[in-house]
Amino acid sequence: MKKFLLLMTAISALALPGYSQKKMDDAQLYDMVKMRLANDPDIKGGNLTVDVNKGVVTVAGRVDKEKARQKVDKVAKKVKGVTSVVNQVKVEP
């Protein structure tokens, strides 16, 4: 019985190699983008939310300057693995 479960686990891992890797990649991208946005001196993290789906990063929320809103794209796109950025950030001083 143990051998059967081990075999089934191995088959499942081989059958879905992209699925678990995609989830991990998106989670890693999320962490990197959030960290870079928070550490950027112009953006300073702002009041932003980040979502990542298959390498597409969506950033929403508020910043207090247009320069910071524009820089969101540049900062997020510099993260290796980000395929595109959807900037939904609004400027509200």
Which of the four pLDDT bands, split at 50, 70 and 90, describes residue 44?
Answer: confident
CATH 3.30.1340.30 fits 15-91, yes or no: yes
The per-residue pLDDT for 93 is 78
Q: Which residue has the higher pLDDT, 18 or 37?
A: 37
> What value does the mean pLDDT take over residues 8-15?
50
Q: Which residue has the higher pLDDT, 55 or 21?
A: 55
Q: Which residues pair with 53 in a beta bridge?
A: 56
Q: Where are the domains of the chain?
A: 15-91
Q: Which residue has the higher pLDDT, 7 or 49?
A: 49
In the chain, which ranges are E strands? 47-53, 56-63, 84-91
